[in-house]
Chain A
């Protein structure tokens, strides 16, 4: 009788010891944890945010990212010492110098430019190097030329907003899939006031010119003339999507306004396609001289990567502040080793003036 009892006690003790060993072992396993630690070492990257438009001169905005850390400031360091090269598929090669013009000084990026015009249906490659950051490279294709015709406009009210509605036909280029982006901007113009005295033209908006004009104006008939000079500043004009075939329904509700209208030719490849879009006229005119200018209505054929990037970019803008940052859409660019986008564009543009100067 005694022996089985001893066996029983022995087994019981073994089980408990094993069990305690399990607890200790598992607690040790859980002790080696990492928290809020990225899996890779994070470094800043060069940024390209450029649109190469057929017929326009080369202008490449180049910037740098900022790492996010607790307490880090939202600020972008300018890149003024980059080496920027652009070449086309025919072997033409341009070295783009940094453009120090004051009109670009306020932007978050630096402009590298060259007075060479971009050609439609051509492929361009850009290489940028900078001493502190990894070199980047990107390629884009400028779409082939296309036309828009039969443009009708109508002033009306849409969703309680005054709009100018554009009805027009896109004459799609057959072959590869084309992607269209429609947008409207107001290009701020600078008012250039001048007068001519003894066959010499003087700028009224300079202190000397104004003083001369004030001295002469009562003695001679001296007309003060105004000219508008387009600047590189633009004002965004909101649009309303009137076409159910666009991709905008995946961004927001159709009753809401959009910055850009996204349309692919999947359903009308090679055909004439009639579409409608309305532009909010709220900023067509302004008493503020800083907001006066010409209204540009643009229908752009863009490269696929650029289309996707801007689509995600617009989605991101709409969600900003309403979704946690973890849900934010990160636009996927085409910059190797860097961030941003190099987009190719062929555009048809209509220009309207509504301001009186």
Chain B
């Protein structure tokens, strides 16, 4: 086993009589005076230049071996790693001396768990994905979504670096003589973030991206309303159809394949303003993780991506607040202790007002939205925490045009009760009960005209109402078995009830749900078990095999799904890593978009014997480079295949008959492949992020396009996102964000040919356009491409601190600086003189929109 161990340097600290505040020998800064030399020469240099007593024996150490340093050594440990590579020895620190002994020359040291929570100093807000790392060995871990960590270390003294984005990195010295609970507070860097040097290029445990949301105001700000979720859209592989109900598309997937979790609770439509703004209020936002290539086994239910958003728990030590006033909305969050260090509450509220800007752009457009978030966290004791979480958000939009009007109302109601329990030094469990309810009402009013007089004679409103209620009980365990193995496992039972498409035809808009015709609900159950191991084979290689198993029941239809997951990362050297990921995912919900109604008319329906569950299989290979000059580069190639994805049948209308709705839906295949690049460069006052996606996205349905494959409508071959931030001093930051992408594909008739009835000399006296009757023909779906898309936003923040606790932020910017379209629509129109016109409409909710906003923290 020893021979097999290629990583021969086992550096262990066995420090005795070292004061807690002393720095260990291994972590002391040291720059050798020579770059190339024998091991003996380097050790002598260490003693001479570094003043460190070093003891070793030439019987087991090849002291004449010549070593050339790579130039990256900054500490004693860095130097020894290079000198002692492939030597079966280890460095032991005893009595302020450094002794190099055989790897098996000393008795094994007991291993204990250092565990606890990493929290924000003062508020005790748990920090998600914070890093804790032993400086000498580089061994470390990250906190889970509740701030918990468990790090196995040998007995003795250890120096730990604890870091988190946006917080001051902290050095913690601990002495382990048994399992030790340590809750570590980290302090915020202040409002204006300096460029952060992160904790180095640790071996990846997954590809989930911890999205920073405070870097590019220009990217996140929608007319004065900061939307942290928009930061996700800078990631390669993500297309956000701005201001559209089609929303976010990830790696060629459909909009309904993206799981959005708010504090662990699934949200079925996480947007306001028809997709322009997320439901996440910046003033209550804490952190966001985004997964698209590697899915830890605990995730399931939707097949293309996971956006995992967490809001603040509430400040445990003092009352604090944040309020924002912008052109679009006003929002405020207040948090504080009900019982100091025991019970905290967080209340957040946001409401829009009809901004003059919006009125100017869309005279016929009126909107109203709000969201309310309440959270209470109670620490039962050191090891138990209870959390109650309630969210309610609603939208109402009406559009009045000459000939028809639209009314759209939708809303989410969420509630969850969670319990965090520290089972012991090496294990943690979270159990929660969650409720998520989404409802959507779409009304479309049209006018009936008298044929003889052309005067309007009546109004008809065609309205549909649908809702989905989802309840689940889930529990998630994390067990750190030993130094190198971690277990994650858990279970979930879920009940979902869909009321798909109640219909109402009336003279006026019906907003009272009770007026809608009751339709037989579509309830289903699904159960989940998952299990995964995170195994550190050695300090260069990590693997994480896992399985996600679900079983589903809808009426007499049963379906079971084994979903293997695999992730592996290999550290080439201190700056470079390779990783691979493989995932299979299944989803039982399908989102249907009825083309017969305007605006957001999407309806969730369950899988049935005819309408099989959607499944995806994906694989990706990636490379990352991260150096100490704050340059990061990642490249990833991926391949994804999707089965049983949905499309309306040509000519089908799901709303016409609720007993045969399945027959109107086609299922087919989709696949996507491409290359994604992401690079970040941080200079002292500048920050750049550039992402590029090259992708191909296909669909194939047996009953569409004569069974031939066709490009998915958002098959944007190239997508480039660029964001730049400049922070000249602590009071200012200026940012710009832009994107350029290929156009979408669309279907347009390419020919017309004579009308069938006209050719039979059949005249329809009711047909007002019988003279111009013809039949459209297109030889293929989506064979045309729109103009390329481009857009740019700019913003500047000015920070001012008054008194001790009052911090002000003034934001000014221009949203959609170039007045770009968020979506191009091409349509063919025949004029009364019998001529065709291809009409291009450039859809956007907001044109060039200057904005101001003011935020106060108190």
**Is B848 close to A, CB under 8 A?**
no
**Is B765 close to A, CB under 8 A?**
yes
Asked whether A30 and B783 contact (CB < 8 A) given A76-B753, A236-B763, A315-B651, the answer is: no
Shortest Cβ distance from residue A325 to the other chain B in the assembled complex, whole angstroms = 4
Measured between beta carbons, the chain B residues less than 8 angstroms from A232 are 761
Say which residue of B681, B751, B761 sits within 8 Å of A234 (CB atoms): B761
Measured between beta carbons, the chain A residues less than 8 angstroms from B826 are 36, 326
Measured between beta carbons, the chain B residues less than 8 angstroms from A185 are 762
Q: B747–A326 contact, CB under 8 A?
A: yes
**Is A84 close to B, CB under 8 A?**
no
Shortest Cβ distance from residue B6 to the other chain A in the assembled complex, whole angstroms = 28
Q: A291–B754 contact, CB under 8 A?
A: no
Q: B776–A328 contact, CB under 8 A?
A: yes
Bound: A38/B749 CA distance, A: 11
Bound: A313/B774 CA distance, A: 10
Q: A316–B775 contact, CB under 8 A?
A: yes
Say which residue of A18, A33, A51, A70 sits within 8 Å of B742 (CB atoms): A33
Q: B759–A107 contact, CB under 8 A?
A: yes
Chain A contact residues, majority secondary structure:
mixed
Q: A68–B752 contact, CB under 8 A?
A: yes
Shortest Cβ distance from residue A331 to the other chain B in the assembled complex, whole angstroms = 6
Q: B595–A327 contact, CB under 8 A?
A: yes
Chain A interface category by residue count: 35 or more
Q: B777–A65 contact, CB under 8 A?
A: yes
- Shortest Cβ distance from A321 into B: residue: B769
**Is B679 close to A, CB under 8 A?**
yes
Q: A234–B763 contact, CB under 8 A?
A: yes
Asked whether A328 and B749 contact (CB < 8 A) given A74-B774, A251-B651, the answer is: yes
- Shortest Cβ distance from A332 into B: residue: B706
Measured between beta carbons, the chain B residues less than 8 angstroms from A132 are none
**Is B491 close to A, CB under 8 A?**
no
Bound: A185/B743 CA distance, A: 47
**Is B54 close to A, CB under 8 A?**
no
Q: B785–A36 contact, CB under 8 A?
A: yes
Q: A35–B690 contact, CB under 8 A?
A: no
- Shortest Cβ distance from A103 into B: residue: B761
Q: B756–A341 contact, CB under 8 A?
A: yes
Chain B contact residues, majority secondary structure:
mixed
Bound: A15/B688 CA distance, A: 12
Q: A109–B759 contact, CB under 8 A?
A: yes
Measured between beta carbons, the chain B residues less than 8 angstroms from A8 are 629
Shortest Cβ distance from residue A156 to the other chain B in the assembled complex, whole angstroms = 21
Q: A74–B825 contact, CB under 8 A?
A: no
Fill in one digit per residue for B353-377: 1 if any A CB lies within 8 Å of its CB, else 0: 0000000000000000000000000
Within 8 A of B (CB), among A316-357: 316, 320-321, 323-332, 339-341
Q: A310–B756 contact, CB under 8 A?
A: yes
- Shortest Cβ distance from B742 into A: residue: A33
Measured between beta carbons, the chain A residues less than 8 angstroms from B656 are 249-250, 252-253
Greatest chain A CB density within 10 A among B31, B627, B748, B786 is at B748
- Shortest Cβ distance from A108 into B: residue: B754
Measured between beta carbons, the chain A residues less than 8 angstroms from B756 are 49, 309-310, 313, 340-341
Q: A36–B786 contact, CB under 8 A?
A: yes
**Is B702 close to A, CB under 8 A?**
no
Within 8 A of A (CB), among B761-780: 761-767, 769, 772, 774-780
**Is B760 close to A, CB under 8 A?**
yes
Q: List 8 A-B contacts (CB under 8 A).
A: A4-B31, A39-B783, A66-B753, A74-B774, A250-B656, A250-B663, A325-B828, A330-B749
Residues of A within 8 A of B (CB): 1, 4, 7-8, 11-12, 15-16, 18-19, 22-23, 26-27, 29-30, 33-40, 42, 44-45, 47, 49, 51, 61, 63-76, 104, 106-109, 185, 232-236, 238, 249-253, 259, 283, 291, 309-313, 315-316, 320-321, 323-332, 339-341
Q: A16-B683, A250-B649, A316-B651 provided; 18 other pairs, C-beta below 8 A?
A: A1-B31, A29-B692, A33-B742, A36-B826, A39-B780, A40-B783, A44-B751, A47-B754, A68-B828, A73-B836, A75-B834, A232-B761, A250-B664, A310-B756, A320-B769, A323-B596, A330-B778, A339-B777
Residues of B within 8 A of A (CB): 31, 71, 595-596, 627-631, 633, 649-653, 656-657, 660, 663-664, 677, 679, 681, 683, 688, 690, 692, 694, 706, 718, 720, 722, 740-743, 746-767, 769, 772, 774-780, 783-788, 825-830, 834-838
